[in-house]
Chains A and B, each alone.
Chain A
Amino acid sequence: MNTGIGTYKKLKDLLDELLVTLSKSSDPFKIDINRYVKELEKIFPYIDIQGLDIDSEIIYTLTDIVKKQKEWLKNKSFLFLLGSLIALIKIAKMNSEDLANELTKAWKPIVSLEQITFNEILRGMNYMSQKKFIVFEEGILKEVKDFNQDDLLKDFIKKTFLEEYIRKVERHLSVLFKEKNIVEYGVLIGSGDFKEKYMRGLALSYLAREGRIILYYDAIEEKVYILKPEYSNNKEYESIVIRVS
Chain B
Amino acid sequence: MSSKVPLNKIRRASRILLFKSHTKPGIKGWELRSQLGEKYIDIVLATDMIFREYLGLRIVAVNADGRKIEIKNENKNSLRKATFLVLVDQPLTIRDLKTAGWRIDEIASLSLILLYLLSHNGVANINDLRNLLVSKISKARVNYILSKLLRLGYIEEKDDKIIIGWRSKIEIDFEKLLGVV
Q: Once the chains bind, are A238 and B99 in contact (CB under 8 Å)?
A: yes
Kindly provide the distance from the CB of B120 to the nearest chain A CB, expressed in whole angstroms: 8
Cα separation A77 to B168 with both chains bound (whole Å) = 21
Q: Which residues of A contact B99 (CB under 8 A)?
A: 238-241
Cα separation A188 to B139 with both chains bound (whole Å) = 31
- Interface contact tally, CB-CB below 8 A: 153
Q: Once the chains bind, are B95 and A238 in contact (CB under 8 Å)?
A: yes
Q: Taking CB as reference atom, which chain A residue is nearest B116?
A: A91
Interface string of A78-115 (1 = CB under 8 A from B): 01001111111011000111011111111111111111
Q: Once the chains bind, are A87 and B92 in contact (CB under 8 Å)?
A: no
Asked if A139 is an interface residue, CB under 8 A from chain B, the answer is yes
Cα separation A112 to B167 with both chains bound (whole Å) = 13
Question: Assuming A109-B88, A141-B54, A220-B140, is B7 touching A135 (CB within 8 A)?
Answer: yes
Interface string of A53-84 (1 = CB under 8 A from B): 00000000000000000000000000100111
Q: Once the chains bind, are A219 and B86 in contact (CB under 8 Å)?
A: no
Partner of B179, one of A86, A88, A96, A100: A86
| Interface residues on chain A, size class | 35 or more
Which residues in chain B, 64-80, are within 8 Å of chain A measured between CB atoms?
70, 73
Q: Do most interface residues of chain A lie in helix, strand or loop, or is the interface mixed?
A: mixed
Which residues in chain B, 153-180, are within 8 Å of chain A measured between CB atoms?
167, 170-180
User: Among B100, B115, B141, B167, which residue has the most Cβ atoms of chain A within 10 A?
Assistant: B115
Q: Which residues of B contact A101 (CB under 8 A)?
A: 94
Asked if A222 is an interface residue, CB under 8 A from chain B, the answer is yes
Q: Which residues of A contact B73 (CB under 8 A)?
A: 24-25
30 A-B contacts, Cβ less than 8 Å apart?
A: A25-B70, A83-B174, A83-B179, A86-B178, A87-B178, A91-B112, A91-B119, A96-B104, A96-B137, A99-B108, A99-B111, A99-B136, A100-B108, A106-B173, A107-B97, A107-B173, A109-B87, A110-B26, A110-B85, A111-B18, A112-B85, A112-B86, A113-B18, A114-B20, A136-B7, A137-B4, A139-B53, A141-B53, A220-B138, A238-B95
Q: Which residue numbers of B lie inside 8 Å of A, CB to CB?
A: 3-5, 7, 10, 18-20, 25-26, 46, 49-50, 53-54, 57, 70, 73, 85-89, 91-95, 97-101, 103-105, 107-108, 110-112, 114-116, 118-119, 132, 136-138, 140-141, 144, 167, 170-180
